[in-house]
Amino acid sequence: MSIRFTDVFYTYNPKTPLEHQALKGINLEIVEGSFVAIVGRTGCGKSTMVQHINALLHPTSGVVTVDDFQNVPEKKKRSKNTKELRQKVGLVFQFPEYQLFEETVEKDVAFGPKNFGKTEEEAMEAAHKALLEVGLGEEFFKRSPFELSGGEKRRAAIAGVLAIGPQYLVVDEPTAGLDPLGSKEMMALFQKVHEAGATIILVTHDMALVKRYCDKVIVVDDGTIAKVTTPDEFFLEDIEKYSLDSPELYKLARFCIAHGADFDMKSIHGVTAFSEAIAKWKGVKHE
């Protein structure tokens, strides 16, 4: 079971002066159980792509399949069980804290499950479980979501999607605006969700996250898939051409190589390994 894009094209505002072709022939497969990163500069079509996965958008041409759901241009030929799809594919937008609206945090998190047919008790149970998963304890349940701090709000919003129990979780820039520790905690949460069996699709600009957590990188450039590879392979090359910023580690390594160092880039995966390589290059004996 997987997500598959076949020759997908998408045009915003067709036949108007604002016409814009966002997707120009996407062919892609995301296998169940993977932790994938979708990267590319702002405006390359990443958000447009992921909105096809849960049928918020329908292709102008081509097919997007999610397990057995067919998302096609013609309404008649499209699969009808959109609700089931949206339960399977959880989509967390950037700055999700803006979607909070209920009187209490637990009610807001229970909103999703209730929409998908759970009873009041089942929804509450799922909400409590999700809130504990994101690190919001019982003292938060009955509070108003608008009283929470920015980071707490974000966690509550994500709990709202996790409570639905999706098999595929798409997250768009989940660490935007968070401090370094907040970022780490957020990614640890997604790692836990991944280990529990979900497929994680991370849309991000942060190459450090891609290096640390993902097993596959999909590079989108101007509406097409420029590359599908592993993070290790990806950072070996100069990714500036995709308007992306290499992690500092790789930039420095390339700088050293340009100045005569002879590193095996594949062996440089962390600060310690890199420092060993530099020490060897500079002929320093470890005391």
Partner 1 sequence: MNNFTLGKYVPYNSFLHRMDPRVKLAMTVCLMVCVFLAYSTWSMTFLVGGILFILAVILLRCTHMGIKDVLKSLRSLWFMLFFLMIIYIVVPRQTHTLPIAWEVGAWVVYWDSFADAGKIMLRLITMMTITMTLTASTKPLDLTYALEWYMTPLKPLHFPAAEIAMTISIALRFIPTLLDDTSRVMKAQASRGVDMEHGKLMQKITGITSLIIPLFVSSFMRSEELANAMECRGYDPTAKRTRYRRLKARFSDFVFLIVANALLAGCIYMCVTSFDVFALFGVTAL
Partner 2 sequence: MNPVLQIEDLSFAYLDDKNVLNHVSLSIEPGQYATLIGHNGSGKSTLSKLIMGLMSGYDGKIFLFGEEVNRKNLRSLTSKVGIVFQNPDNQFVGSTVADDIAFGLENSCVKREEMEAIIQEVACDVGMEKFLSHEPASLSGGQKQRVAIAGVLAMNPSLVIFDEATAMLDPRGKKEIRALIQKMRTKNPDLAILSITHDIEEAAASDRVFVLEKGSILFAGSPHEVFCHYEELVNARLDIPFAVKMCRALRNQGMHVPENITTVEALEEFLCQ
When asked if residue 76 is in the footprint of partner 2 (CB under 8 A), the reply is no
With contact defined as beta carbons under 8 Å apart, do 235 and 250 qualify? yes
User: Contact between 256 and partner 2 (CB under 8 A)?
Assistant: yes
Among partner 2, partner 1, none, residue 178 binds (CB under 5-8 Å by kind): partner 2
150 binds partner 2 (CB under 8 A): yes
Least separation in angstroms between CB 168 and partner 1: 12
User: For residues 196 and 284, which CB has a smaller minimum distance to partner 2 in the complex?
Assistant: 284
Q: What angle do CA 20, 24, 28 make, to 5 degrees?
A: 135
Query: 64 or 256: whose CB is closer to partner 2?
Result: 256
| DSSP category for residue 245 | P
Closest CA to 26 of 240, 221, 231, 234: 221
Please state, in angstroms and rounded to a whole number, the distance separating the CA atoms of residues 209 and 202. Answer: 9
Of residues 31-60, those binding partner 2 (CB under 8 A): 41-42
* Closest among 150, 158, 149 to 189, alpha carbons compared: 158
Q: Does 1 bind partner 2 (CB under 8 A)?
A: no
Residues 78-137 binding partner 1 (CB under 8 A) are: 83, 86-87, 90-91, 93, 96, 98-101, 111-112, 115-116
Other C-beta atoms within 10 Å of 13: how many? Answer: 9
| Helix, strand or coil, per DSSP, at residue 12 | strand
* Cβ 221 vs Cβ 242: under 8 Å: yes
The reply on whether position 187 binds partner 1 by CB under 8 A is no
Phi, psi of 87 (to 5 degrees): -80, -30
Instruction: Specify the DSSP class assigned to residue 139.
Output: G
276 contributes a contact to partner 2 by CB under 8 A: yes
Binding residues for partner 2, per CB under 8 A?
A: 41-42, 149-151, 176-182, 205-206, 243-245, 248-249, 251-252, 255-256, 259, 271-272, 274-276, 278-279, 282, 284-287
Binding residues for partner 1, per CB under 8 A?
A: 51, 54, 56, 83, 86-87, 90-91, 93, 96, 98-101, 111-112, 115-116, 146, 160-161, 164
